[in-house]
């Protein structure tokens, strides 16, 4: 039986394919901050899937940062988010 944990996205190790790809590309010189070839390719794939060639695609470092950006962009200054106590961990 496989046990799944949804504790957070920082508690698990990386999949072997990810580690292999990181190791293989470790010494490649790339631009930073989303301007590298990998982010460009991922952005193009996302645009293709959503069928919007003009969509802006921006990458963030983790789920917490993504949540903060989305929540702060859709809530008015007097609105907030209510979550289960387990959502804060």
Looking at residue 85, its pLDDT comes to 77
* pLDDT tens column, 51-85: 999 999 999 988 888 888 999 999 998 998 887 77
Residue 37 has pLDDT above 80, yes or no: yes
- Paired tokens of 56: 């802006």
Residue 21 CA to residue 23 CA, distance in Å, equals 5
Domain ranges within the chain, ordered by starting residue: 32-77
Residue 50 vs residue 32, higher pLDDT: 50
Residue-wise pLDDT for 11-24, tens only, equals 778 899 999 999 99
Q: Model pTM greater than 0.75?
A: no
Q: For residues 21-58, b (16+ Cβ closer than 10 Å) or e, as one string?
A: eeeeeeeeeeeeeeebeebeeebeeeeeeeeeeeeeee
Per-residue confidence (pLDDT) for residue 2, from 0 to 100: 78
Identify whether the C-beta of residue 63 lies closer than 8 Å to the C-beta of residue 9: yes
């Amino acid at each position: 039986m496989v046990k799944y944990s949804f504790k957070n996205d920082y508690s698990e190790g990386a999949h072997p394919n990810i580690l292999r790809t990181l190791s293989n590309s470790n010494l490649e010189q790339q631009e930073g901050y989303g301007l590298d070839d990998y982010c460009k390719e991922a952005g193009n794939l996302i645009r293709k899937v959503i069928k919007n060639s003009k969509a802006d695609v921006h990458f963030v470092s983790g789920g917490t940062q993504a949540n903060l950006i989305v929540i702060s962009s859709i809530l008015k200054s007097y609105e907030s988010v209510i979550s289960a106590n387990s959502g804060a961990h």
